[in-house]
Each structure stands twice: as structure tokens, then as C-alpha cells.
């Protein structure tokens, strides 16, 4: 028995000295200490000894078992520590290393222009009023005094959904919805997407406008001039001048088209303004009495000022973009240039 123990002890010492992984150690421990392992097998041999020999032999085997268990435990602790140290080394993070730059997004140039205008107008007491992109004929045309035979109603110009519903062709239906729902006097701006069957270098089937509407008593074209002058100076620079040219819109009377001094040459004349020194940026006027009536207000009591401007056009002028599609193709080489 003692010879056998000596042999096993030597084997265990050798194996335990060699193993480098916890898993291997577990295999060795299993081989010697599990129920059918070599050490319990010694216990089973006790039965073949004489009664007198048994207690002493049992004690020796037990001591051997305790020795082996302690050896494996110690080895396991050692290997565990070593594995942890290796992991610390492998997973170490050098906090002094520069981090990878994450690519943050930024606002689209049209959004920048929209936000600037909203800022300027809310500063003057305007609120933002948003209308739906799918409109009906009444809000997009009829209430705005657009006659039944007006070319804008043509199916070649407007995206119709059915005989009554269409994708709004301008933000002016926002005027109608504001007058229908708000109690005058009020001042609103209504920014949003608009749609027209149009597609070339300076026109896209989807673009953005911002409508402005003031409803109050005794408003005149002079008030509009002051407002739009502020708008121009906000978007371009404070030296920008505005001028009104007579125009026609069914929903305003009188109607004007508004030019600003060219942002490129400041009025001297260049290719952008075709030598005139002026660039058209919006349409506006005094709200037509018929429109006020169509929206349920008394035109003898209330007067209105309205204007509408193209946000994409302003962004293009302001940032020197010569093709509207560059704004919408999603090319990050273009769009990332507008990071502030």
C-alpha cells in the first residue's frame, strides 16, 4: 500500500507541476480524486487487508487524500491568479491614447436657414404653425382665391392624389388653416416641404418654403416692408437692402416680389445676379379681402400681410450652391461642408 501511495504521490507531483491551464488541472484532479479516481480506489482496497492493518492504512490513505486535495487547491489558486494577470495585460486600456473620433452629424443647410428665420421671427412675436403636406383643393387653391382655370391647378404642375387631395404646392394653405383656427390678431410663420412637378438645376419636385402671415388691424404694405427688410438682414448681412417690385398672386392685393441686394457682389452686378445687383428671394403682399372672407374673418375688420420664401433658394444663394440637387443627393462630401 505504501509503495502504491508513493508512486501515486510522485505521479501527482509531476503532473501538477506540468499543467499550465485550469482545465488541465481539473482533468488531473478528476483522475485521482473523483469517485472512481485512483485515491478512492485505494480506499476500496482496504477491504482486502486484515482487521489490524486497516486503521493505520486508512489513516495513511486519508492523509494522502488531504495532501492531494490541498495540492490541487493551491495549484488551482495559482493558475487562477496567473490567468487573471494575463487577462489584465491582454485587456489593458491605455487611457492616455487619443480616442477614435466618432463622426457626429450636423444640421442640413436648409434646416440651418429655416432655424435662422424661425429665430428671427419668433423674436418678433411670431409663432410657428405647421400645416399638413397633403392638402385639399380648398386649402391649397380655392380659399386662396386661385381661380378654377389657374395654371397652377394643372395636373402637369401639381401632384394630385385624387380629385380633391394633392401634395401642397406652397405653404400658403398654412395661412388658411391659421385663420380658420387662431383668434386674431396673430403672427405666424409656417415652414415646411412643398411639392411641384418640376425638375431641373434650380427646381426639385420637393423643396421647402416658409410662409409668414400677420393678421391685425390697419396693416399696410409699409409694415410688410419693415418685416421683410429684417428677414433679409437676418439671412444675409445687415447691409443687405430690399426692394419691392409689383407682382401678382391671387391671394394678395397688392402683391409684390421682393429683391435683395446680391449677396455675392453687394449690388455692383455679377454673374449670380445677372448684372442687375438684385436677387429675388420672395413673394408677398397684403392678404386679398376674398381670402380673409373665405377663412371666416371679416375683411372690413381684419387686414393681413403674407409672404412666402423658398428656403432651398436662400440656402443656395447664401452658401453658393448652384444646383438644388446637391442639397438632396445625400453626398456627405457636399453636406459636411456645412458643419458649423
User: In the complex, what is the shortest distance from the CB of residue 101 to ligand PHE, in angstroms, rounded to a whole number?
Assistant: 42
Residue nearest to ligand PHE (CB): 308
**Contacts to ligand PHE from residues 171-190, by CB under 6 A:** 172
CA pseudo-torsion sign 43, 45, 51, 55 = negative
* Stretch near ligand PHE under the rule CB under 6 A, chosen from 1-9, 154-162, 303-311, 327-335: 303-311
Residue of 131, 173, 285, 304 that binds ligand PHE (CB under 6 A): 285
How many other CB atoms are found less than 10 A from the CB of residue 213? 25
Please say which residue, 29 or 139, places its beta carbon nearer to ligand PHE.
139
By CB under 6 A, residue 284 contacts ligand PHE: yes
Name the percent of the chain in helix, strand, coil, to the closest 5.
45, 20, 35
Instruction: Specify the residue, 67 or 244, whose C-beta has the smaller distance to ligand PHE.
Output: 244
Closer of 68 and 306 to ligand PHE (Cβ): 306
CA–CA separation, 327 vs 63, rounded Å? 84
Q: Measured from the CB of residue 286, what is the shortest distance to ligand PHE in angstroms? A: 9
Interaction of residue 308 with ligand PHE, rule CB under 6 A: yes
Q: Using CA atoms, how far apart are residues 42 and 57, in angstroms rounded to an integer?
A: 10
Q: Candidates 109-117, 272-280, 305-313, 331-339 — which segment interacts with ligand PHE by CB under 6 A?
A: 305-313
Alpha carbons 229 and 273: distance in angstroms, whole number: 19
DSSP string of 226-244, one letter each residue: HHHHHHHHHHS-TT--EEE
Lay out the site mask for ligand PHE across 252-281 (x = CB under 6 A, - = otherwise). Answer: x-----------------------------
From candidates 64, 121, 126, 249, binder to ligand PHE by CB under 6 A: 249
CA distance 282 to 292: 21
Residue 129 engages ligand PHE in binding (rule: CB under 6 A): no
Contacting residues for 177 by C-beta, under 8 A, at least 6 apart? 129, 131, 139
Q: How far is the CB of 236 from ligand PHE (least distance, A)?
A: 19
Closest approach of ligand PHE to the CB of residue 138, in Å: 16
Give the containing element (helix H, strand E) for 335. helix 332-335
Q: Is 160 left (phi over 0), alpha (psi -120 to 50) or beta?
A: beta
Chain residues in the site for ligand PHE (CB under 6 A): 170, 172, 211, 249, 252, 283-285, 306-308
Amino acid at each position: 500500500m505504501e509503495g502504491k501511495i508513493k508512486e501515486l504521490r510522485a505521479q501527482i507531483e509531476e503532473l501538477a507541476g506540468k499543467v499550465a491551464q485550469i482545465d488541465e488541472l481539473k482533468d488531473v484532479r478528476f483522475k485521482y480524486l473523483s469517485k472512481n479516481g485512483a485515491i478512492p480506489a485505494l480506499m476500496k482496497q482496504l477491504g482486502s487487508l486484515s482487521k489490524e492493518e486497516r486503521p493505520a492504512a486508512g489513516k495513511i490513505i486519508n492523509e494522502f487524500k488531504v495532501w492531494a486535495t490541498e495540492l490541487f487547491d493551491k495549484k488551482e489558486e495559482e493558475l487562477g491568479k496567473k490567468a487573471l494577470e494575463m487577462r489584465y495585460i491582454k485587456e489593458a486600456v491605455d487611457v492616455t491614447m487619443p480616442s477614435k473620433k466618432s463622426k457626429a452629424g450636423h444640421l442640413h443647410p436648409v434646416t440651418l436657414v429655416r432655424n435662422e428665420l424661425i429665430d428671427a421671427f419668433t423674436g418678433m412675436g411670431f409663432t410657428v404653425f405647421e400645416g399638413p403636406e397633403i392638402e385639399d383643393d380648398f386649402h391649397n387653391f380655392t380659399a386662396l382665391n386661385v381661380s378654377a382655370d389657374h395654371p397652377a391647378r394643372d395636373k402637369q404642375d401639381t401632384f394630385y392624389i385624387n380629385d380633391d387631395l394633392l401634395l401642397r404646392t406652397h405653404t400658403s394653405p398654412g395661412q388658411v388653416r391659421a385663420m380658420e383656427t387662431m383668434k386674431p390678431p396673430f403672427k405666424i410663420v409656417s415652414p415646411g416641404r412643398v411639392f411641384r412637378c418640376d425638375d431641373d438645376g434650380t427646381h426639385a419636385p420637393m423643396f421647402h418654403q416658409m410662409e409668414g402671415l400677420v393678421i391685425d388691424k390697419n396693416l399696410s404694405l409699409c409694415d410688410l416692408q419693415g418685416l421683410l427688410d429684417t428677414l433679409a438682414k437676418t439671412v444675409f448681412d445687415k447691409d443687405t437692402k430690399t426692394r419691392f417690385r409689383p407682382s401678382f398672386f391671387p391671394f394678395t392685393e397688392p402683391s409684390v416680389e421682393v429683391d435683395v441686394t446680391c449677396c455675392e457682389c453687394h449690388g455692383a452686378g455679377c454673374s449670380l445676379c445677372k448684372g442687375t445687383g438684385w436677387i429675388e428671394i420672395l413673394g408677398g403682399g397684403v392678404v386679398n379681402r376674398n381670402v380673409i372672407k373665405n377663412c371666416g374673418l371679416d375683411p372690413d375688420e381684419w387686414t393681413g400681410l403674407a409672404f412666402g420664401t423658398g428656403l432651398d433658394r436662400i440656402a443656395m444663394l447664401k452658401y453658393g450652391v448652384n444646383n438644388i440637387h446637391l442639397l438632396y443627393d445625400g453626398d456627405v462630401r457636399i453636406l459636411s461642408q456645412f458643419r458649423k
